[in-house]
Amino acid sequence: MKKYLPAILIGAYAFFITISIIAGYQPGKDVGNNFLEYSISMIKILPCAFILIGLFEVWIKREVIEKHLGKDSRFMGYLWAMLLGSVTIGPMIVSLPIAQSLFKKGASMRVIFAYLGASTVCRIPMTIFEASCIGVKFTIVRYVVSIPLILIFAVFYGRHLDKKHYALAGE
């Protein structure tokens, strides 16, 4: 049963959307439209993102990552991770393969967590949009609160996984 659960869930979702369209149930139609729009945007973004990640894998040497983002990188590793996270474009699904690539090339878990936090909270386009809509004061307060929390949790989780000698499956 556990083996078939994903197929059952996908089938139930498709059945719900189909019945919603037939019956004219607007919330179900909206869910289907949102799924379709999100899927189309993913199809547009992901190929480019994966090409760039592939180029990153080939062009950036392991020694460079170990030096700047490895276990001995200290504060500068976090700074580089925050900068890389702030310029990452696309949804979170783009950040995860980059994080895996960083891990394979020798970046420390703490720095990877800082990157993931920054890629979700500190993106430049999001910051500009937020400052223009909600205000610069709000954006500054959010950064003052968010960045220390990202760094605290990155250090905490990184140390925890280092103690457990964490490795990716298949490594």
Alpha carbons 29 and 19: distance in angstroms, whole number? 9
51: region left, alpha or beta (phi > 0 left; psi from -120 to 50 alpha)? alpha
The more confidently predicted of residues 56 and 31 is 31
What is the pTM for the complete model shown?
A: 0.76
**pLDDT of 41-64, one tens digit each?**
888 888 888 888 888 889 989 898
Alpha carbons 85 and 131: distance in angstroms, whole number? 18
pLDDT (0 to 100) of residue 169: 65
Alpha carbons 70 and 107: distance in angstroms, whole number? 4
**pLDDT of 56-92, one tens digit each?**
889 989 898 989 998 888 889 999 999 999 988 777 8
- Return the CA Rg of the chain: 20
Q: For the chain, which residues make up each domain, given as ranges?
A: 1-59, 62-171
